[in-house]
Amino acid sequence: MFKIGVLVSGGGSNLQSIIDKSKSGELQCNVEVVIGDRECYGVERAKEAGIDRHVLDRKILKKELCKEIDKIITEKGVELVVLAGFLSIIDEEFVNKWKGKIINIHPSLLPKFGGPGMYGIKVHEAVLKAGEQESGCTVHYVDTGVDSGEIIAQKRVKVLVGDTPETLQKRILMEEHKLLPESIAKIITEKNKGVYS
């Protein structure tokens, strides 16, 4: 079974979508470990699902955070690292070691509304301020830039009249819960075909 590790910083609803789909057999993978960079509900979700979990306090570890993550996921035999609302910056050494094996989900149609400072509700505020007619979410490979890696898949969401950042965020999150597991399934299929090394 394909082994994944999930990194979280918040509520972990995207993590939950992966757990649910792997338990139902819709997604052919095991969540081997969940790592939070702070105490958060995402880590609690892992506990409730009986998944090995770790909290690595980014404020204490600072530059050692990625080394600790690397150690844990290597020991667990993780084949794909999934950033699901993970807010710490992944350093270059880690990215280079796991190149092509780290993915992230972002709440906009990249390359629009990505980059430094663009996360969470700030993305949706920026979309509305710019008067965009549509937004959505993107799953992409992680490279040494911010939100700049190769795009795996996207889902589009119409911006409605009267939308607030919160209402737009809620509708996009529903699509994220579909897109992330679909993207993982696509990677697993490619690996089984020998495309993914």
196 pLDDT more than 90: no
- Per residue in 45-77, pLDDT (tens digit) is 999 999 999 999 999 899 999 999 999 999 999
Note the pTM of the prediction, 2 decimals.
0.94
Active-site hit among 106, 124, 140, 177: 106
**Residue list for the binding site:** 12-14, 63, 104
The domain that contains 104 carries what CATH number?
Answer: 3.40.50.170
Domain extent, residue 34, equals 2-193
Residue list, annotated binding site for (6R)-10-formyltetrahydrofolate: 63, 104
The sign of the torsion formed by the CA atoms of 30, 27, 37, 70 equals: positive
Which residue shows structure tokens 């997604």?
Answer: 27
HSE value, Cβ hemisphere, 13 Å, CA-based, for 70: 15
Decide if 106 is catalytic.
yes
Q: How many domains does the chain have?
A: 1
